[in-house]
Amino acid sequence: MKPEIKAKWLEELRGGEYKQSRRTLRNSEGYCCMGVLVDIYIKETGKGSWNSDYLGNYVFEGDSMSEEAVLPQEVMEWAGLHYPNPNIVDNNPCGKCNDVLELTFDQIADAIEKTL
């Protein structure tokens, strides 16, 4: 992962601006950990956007395709990641850590800092 993007992601996960939610990149309640990275991408590059679906989830619309559950290809390339849901804790991917293990953003940031 590109160090400058990783630093920004960690800062935002720990910063308290983003409210954490589960099961989708973004919904009306907040963001998952990967949704935070997608939002940073939108803000930093001016590319892509969030569009709400009928369930109150937000779908990322970008150059490559729409996505609501894992990192879009263009975000992966921008961030220097090789997988749309990278492993961060004991071979558990970001999404599982956020949604199933229910780790906090601070815990996820600590894991990202050590593994990516």
Domain spans of the chain, in order of start: 3-115
Query: 12-63: per-residue pLDDT in tens?
Result: 999 999 999 999 999 999 999 999 999 999 999 999 999 998 888 899 999 8
In percent, the amount of the chain with pLDDT more than 90 equals 89
- In this prediction, residue 10 has a pLDDT band, given cuts at 50, 70 and 90, of very high
CA distance 7 to 2: 9
93: pLDDT confidence band, cut at 50, 70 and 90? very high
Give per-residue pLDDT as tens, 29-43: 999 999 999 999 999
CA angle, residues 29, 65, 76, in degrees to nearest 5: 75
Rounded-to-integer distance, Cα 53 and Cα 25, Å: 12
What is the Cα–Cα distance from 33 to 53, expressed in whole angstroms? 20
- The structure's pTM equals 0.96
Q: What is the pLDDT of residue 56?
A: 83
Q: What is the mean pLDDT of residues 69-91?
A: 95
